Amino acid sequence: MILSYKYRINPNRTHAASLDAMLADFCSLYNACLQQRIEAYRRQGKSLHYVDQASELKAVRCAVPEIARWSFSAEQQVIRRVDKTFRAFFRRGKGFPRFRAQARFHAAEFRVGDGLTLRKSGKLGFVGVPGEIKVRWHRDLPSEPKSAILTRQNGKWYVIFHVEVAATERANDLTVGVDVGLTNLIALSTGETAERPNWTKRAAKGLRRRQRALARCKRRSNVRAKRKRALAKFQARIANRRRDALHKISRDIVSRFGRIAVEDLNIKGLAAGMLAKHVNDAAWAQLIQMLAYKAERAGCEFIRVDPRGTSQTCPECGHVAAKTLAERVHRCDCGCTVDRDVAAAMVVHFRAFGFWPGAGREESSEPVAA
C-alpha cells in the first residue's frame, strides 16, 4: 500500500523566491494547456489528450526559457493534472475545468531522483532552485520514496513523500461496530463514546473578529492581504486541531480491534442538508478515511454496512421504532436501555459480523482514548 508522509521544509528567501517562481511558471503552463484544449475543440472539434500535449513539451521548453529551467518530469505532471481534470469533468458531467490564478496554484508533483533529489545530508534539492533546502525530519521514512508533492500552505512550505509500505498481519480478531454522530463524535459497540469537540464553535469568536476585520479592508490593499493571511492561518489552526483529534481517535480504535465495521454513509448528501455546518465540522468523512487506511496498514478488516435504520433498531431484540433526534437514550419494551449512539454501533456490529455484541449491556460513559 502507498502511504503519505508530510514534512515541513525551511527554505531561505532565495529558495522561497525560486519555489514561488516555479509554481507561477507551472500555473502558466497549466493555463496554456487548458487554453489549447479549449481552442482545439472550438476550432476543429477535436479533443486533445495527455499524449498530444506532452509531445509538444520539448518544443515549448526550447521556445520559453522560463519553462526550461525547471524539471521536465514535473512539467509532465502539470499536463497530467490538466488531463485528470478533464477526465473528472467528463465522468461527472459538470464542473468544467477553470483557469487557475497564480495565488491559488499551491502544489507541484515530482519523481524523487528526477526533479527532486533527497541528498545524503538529509536536505532537498530541486531542479532550478539553487542550493539545498532543510527538512524537519520529525519521523523517519520507512523506505525510499518514489514520488513527492511540494506544497505551499499559508506561507509555509511542505513536502509530501509517497512511500510503499507492506501491510502487517492482523494483531487480533476483536470486533467493533462504529457509529458517528453530532452529539457523540463516535460511539463504539463496546459502550465507549467520544463527545464531539465542536471545533468551529469554540473558535467562533476569533473567526468572526478576523472575518469582520477583513471585510472592512479596501480591496487590493496591503492591509487586506495581511488580514487575509491572518484569517487563513487561524482557519488552518482549527483544521490542525480537528485533524490531530481524529488521528488519535482512529489510531486508538485500530490499535485495539482487528475487525472494524462502520456505516456506509452518504456524507456528501448529509453535508448538503439542514445540518451541513455541524456535519462538516464533525469531519465524518475524514475520520472514516483515517480509520480505513490505518486499518489497511495494520492488517485489520474494515467493513462498511448499510446505514438505514441503525438508530431505530433495538440492539437486543431487533425491533424497529422511530425516534426523534432529541431522544438520546434507546429504550425498548424488551428492557434494553442504552445510549442511542451506542445502540446504533451495536446494530452496525450485528450487520457486519452476524452477532450482537454485549447483549444486555448497560449504558457506558467511558470515553474513547484520544
Question: Would you say residue 304 has pLDDT above 90?
Answer: yes
Question: Would you say residue 30 has pLDDT above 80?
Answer: yes
Domains and CATH numbers, the chain: 2-164 (no CATH), 175-198+247-353 (3.30.420)
Q: Span 244-265, mean pLDDT?
A: 93
Q: Span 165-180, mean pLDDT?
A: 85
Question: Would you say residue 362 has pLDDT above 50?
Answer: no
Q: Which residue has better confidence, 38 or 195?
A: 38
Question: Would you say residue 256 has pLDDT above 70?
Answer: yes
- Element of type H or E holding 236: helix 222-256
Which of 261, 349, 293, 298 lies closest to 172 in space, CA to CA?
Answer: 298
Q: Long-range CB contacts (< 8 A, 24+ apart) of 62-71?
A: 66/25, 66/28, 67/25, 67/28, 67/29, 69/127, 69/128, 70/22, 70/25, 70/26, 70/115, 70/127, 70/128, 71/110, 71/114, 71/115, 71/116, 71/126, 71/127, 71/128
Q: pLDDT, tens digit, for every residue of 282-297?
A: 888 999 999 999 998 8
Give the number of other Cβ atoms within 10 Å of residue 100's Cβ: 18
359: pLDDT confidence band, cut at 50, 70 and 90? very low
Q: Span 99-108, mean pLDDT?
A: 94
- % of the chain residues with pLDDT over 70: 96
Which of 331, 307, 190 lies closest to 253 in space, CA to CA?
Answer: 190
Q: Span 118-138, mean pLDDT?
A: 94
Give the number of other Cβ atoms within 10 Å of residue 1's Cβ: 10
For residue 290, the number of C-alpha atoms closer than 13 Å in the C-beta half-sphere is 19
533546502: which residue's cell? 133
331: pLDDT confidence band, cut at 50, 70 and 90? confident
The mean pLDDT of the chain is 89
- Specify the pLDDT at position 368: 52
- Specify the pLDDT at position 250: 94
